[in-house]
């Protein structure tokens, strides 16, 4: 999965695989986390959000866990 660098104080890069609906987010602290069953529009929203951290907190955090 290709990671796209983003401009954010919280997030350095994001990636998405539409076939598996898996999203990866790399945070400024260096950790990368996977999120499962993420709809395309949620990834697109994060990619284009003015504040990636706020979007993450509002629409992704504590959702889309991979089991």
- Confidence grade of residue 67 (pLDDT, cut at 50, 70, 90): confident
Instruction: Please state the rounded mean pLDDT for residues 33-47.
Output: 98
Question: Does a structural domain hold residue 15?
Answer: yes
pLDDT digits (tens, 9 = 90+) for 26-36: 999 999 999 99
User: Is residue 49 included in any domain, yes or no?
Assistant: yes
Range of 26's domain? 4-60
65 inside domain: no
pTM: 0.94
Residue 64 — very low, low, confident or very high, per pLDDT cuts 50/70/90? very high
User: What total number of domains does the chain contain?
Assistant: 1
Determine how many CB atoms are found less than 10 A away from the CB of residue 20: 11
Measured distance CA(55)–CA(42) in Å, rounded: 9
With respect to residue 19, please indicate whether it lies within any of the assigned structural domains.
yes
Domain membership flag for residue 66: no
Question: Domain for residue 40, yes or no?
Answer: yes
């Amino acid at each position: 999965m290709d990671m796209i660098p983003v401009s954010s104080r919280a997030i350095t890069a994001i990636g998405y695989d539409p076939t598996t609906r898996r999203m990866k987010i790399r945070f400024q602290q260096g950790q990368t986390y996977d999120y499962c069953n993420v709809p395309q529009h949620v990834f697109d929203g994060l990619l284009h959000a003015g504040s990636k951290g706020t979007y993450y907190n509002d629409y992704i955090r504590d959702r889309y866990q991979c089991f």
